[in-house]
A = this chain, B = another copy of it.
Amino acid sequence: MMGGAEIERLITLLGRLPGLGPRSARRAALALLRQPHARMLPLAQAMEHAARAVRTCSTCGNLDTCDPCSICADPSRDRGLVCVVENVGDLWALERAGVHRGVYQVLGGTLSALDGIGPEDLNVAPLYARLEAGGVREVILALGATVDGATTMHWLHDSLSRFNIPVSRVGQGVPVGGALDVLDDGTLAAALMARRPA
């Protein structure tokens, strides 16, 4: 063991972050340890603040410090246009691209026979409630062009048909087999523009 249990634990926990292997976790730990007051404590405090402050929006499933989230609460957003995404990372990607002026519904996953994820595991009840309440003119399905994404869009299309509201899906621009949140802004914009009835 090098540098005591504290350093080992720091490296272990950093190494569990997506995108950080053991080697980059060590490099990150060293960078933090070299500047404990300028770098490590501010990051620790940012994590504690975020852990305390951030909650899941009960309307759309977004993560924010307020509920409803700042998107749902924004009077300038078009509540008649609901974009369904798999996860908050995809919502962030669309917001960075600035290509959707409506609101969102975050499913929290896709249907997956392999992972045993069924309709009851998806955060879709708030969407039904919004559609029942009226005022929604269109639902845009913005899921990745994976097998599970396509299955989910197909199922959503069926399950939303009873509301008699146009359901479209992002089409052109999403590469087959690709996830949504790796795409550049232009591709995301094209995919939204080229949406077609689901």
Contact = CB atoms under 8 A, between A and B. Distances in A.
Interface of A: 1-7, 9-10, 13-14, 16-20, 23-24, 26-33, 36-37, 39-54, 62-66, 69-70, 87-89, 91-92, 95-96, 182
B50 A33 contact: yes
9 contacts: A3-B62, A4-B70, A16-B39, A18-B28, A33-B54, A40-B51, A44-B45, A44-B47, A47-B47
Contacts of A6: 46, 49-50, 53-54, 65
A58 to B, nearest CB: 15
Contact of A50 (B26, B36, B53, B70): B36
Contacts of A46: 6, 9-10, 13
Contacts of A32: 17, 47, 50-51
A116 to B, nearest CB: 19
Contacts of A16: 39
B51 A36 contact: yes
Given A51-B40, A65-B6, A92 B33 contact: no
Contact of A51 (B41, B52, B87): B41
Contacts of A30: 63, 87-89, 92
A89 B31 CA distance: 10
Contacts of A51: 32, 36-37, 40-41, 44
A47 B43 contact: yes
B4 A89 contact: no
The 7 A-B pairs at the shortest CB distance, nearest first, are namely A19-B24, A4-B65, A44-B47, A36-B51, A17-B28, A6-B50, A40-B51
A17 to B, nearest CB: 4
